[in-house]
Structure 1
């Protein structure tokens, strides 16, 4: 989903208020008073209401007659929304989020890549090669590096020849994008990702399912270590700026 960060005053309100909710500064079940927020930030009530609509779309708030606007229970939040993910990281909750992602990937991807080694097509190999080339050319561009990494893993799931596995990209991609943006950011600590990805690709190309699965497990273990270091490096830069009208 599209991030609202940096989109003028409206985007600043979404950013600041979303962070308040996700960080726990405003608790689940608490009521939000749009007029009080408008006074606090010296903004129009229209801006506040439109911002709350965006947060409602992310599952963070809801409005009910006689109750007003309130913070929904955490279990109802869209945890795969790009902004929610980013706010969780900014609030110091990135390690648990990335742990969950790492566990999911370790369950799914070594098994998926075994099928990819057995079923891949020439088109699949071309898609993997393009993604790997883009990864090598990304350099210090965090956005390009993240996009290339996501494209590589999407192509692997597609190469499995299992439509249900292929659709798991919709589940993993938002968190994977967030993870990669952190790891490949200027403060990041990741080594060159091409060799570990190349090892997976060559095993898939050789139709060696055992080697492909082992190479993927090695890649994921290193990815988890890189992500953990990068998230800890962010510890000193938490929070978001107040909106300014």
Structure 2
């Protein structure tokens, strides 16, 4: 998820970052800070701070005699929450959806397996609460998505593996964008059942069942995305 933004600085970061990631021709190549100030009707200080923020994300750079310029896509910090979110906001970024499915297939079954072996009662209670929240917000795509993201975050945290848990930023950003598309007309059939199966296996402390249930969940997610594209 994106960190909170306030004021004109945040608005410039949001708009310019989104334009760069989307490949907007007007946001490619060299960037003129003076022109940016006019475009957004902000001071030079605001522009400078916004460009610093985008530079930290690998999107832009500034060099003597070369000025400020957009960096090649290969230099972007692709795991930055905002860069992830901006990419997923592009409905046509099918490569990103594919990358997400592949990352989830590697990370989440292993996370579920470890969670079943290492979870605490508090973890189980948090997963149950998230699942109940999903059921209660089936008609509210925003709240439903937040509950789904919470479920998957808690699951990775329950693995007690700090490196796996760090990957929640990828899963969370991706799920947020995916759910807004897939569940825009309501919860998909089978969604609750697949999540319940994961929770039950984790509660029972059954690593094999938890891994299998997560693979089933991901297979259902892939079918949902396929239905959406047709």
Q: TM-score, normalised by structure 1?
A: 0.77
Query: 1:183 aligns to what?
Result: 182
Give the Å deviation of 1:28. 9.5
State how far apart, in whole Å, the 1-side matches of 2:203 and 2:177 are.
29
Task: Give 1:156's aligned residue.
Answer: 155
Matched, 1:198 2:193: no
Query: Which one is further off, 152-161 or 216-225?
Result: 152-161
Mark the CA change 1:67 to 1:122 in structure 2 (over 3 Å): closer, same or farther. Answer: same
Q: Contact 1:80–1:174 at 8 Å: present in 2 too? A: no
Where do residues 121-140 of structure 1 align in structure 2 (5 Å cutoff)?
Answer: 121-140=120-139
Q: Go from structure 1 to structure 2 and tell me whether the alpha carbon gap of 1:85 and 1:227 turns closer, same or farther (over 3 Å shift).
A: farther
- Contact 1:128/1:156, CA 8 A, preserved across alignment: yes
Give SS of 1:190's match: coil
Aligned to 1:223: 221
Give the alignment's TM-score, normalised by structure 2. 0.81
Q: Structure 2: give runs of 5+ residues left out of the alignment.
A: none
Shift of 1:93: 4.4
Q: How does 1:75-94 map to 2 (within 5 A)?
A: 75-94=74-93
Question: Which position in structure 2 is the counterpart of 1:240?
Answer: none
Mapped partners of 1:38, 1:10: distance in 2: 11
Q: Deviations over 1:14-64 (max 9, x none)?
A: 34432332122349982111223445x373452544433332232211111
Task: Specify the SS of the correspondent of 1:69.
Answer: strand
Query: Structure 1's 73 and 27: CA in aligned 2 closer, same or farther, altered over 3 A?
Result: farther
| RMSD of equivalent CA atoms | 3.0
Q: Structure 2 CA distance, aligned partners of 1:52 and 1:153?
A: 33
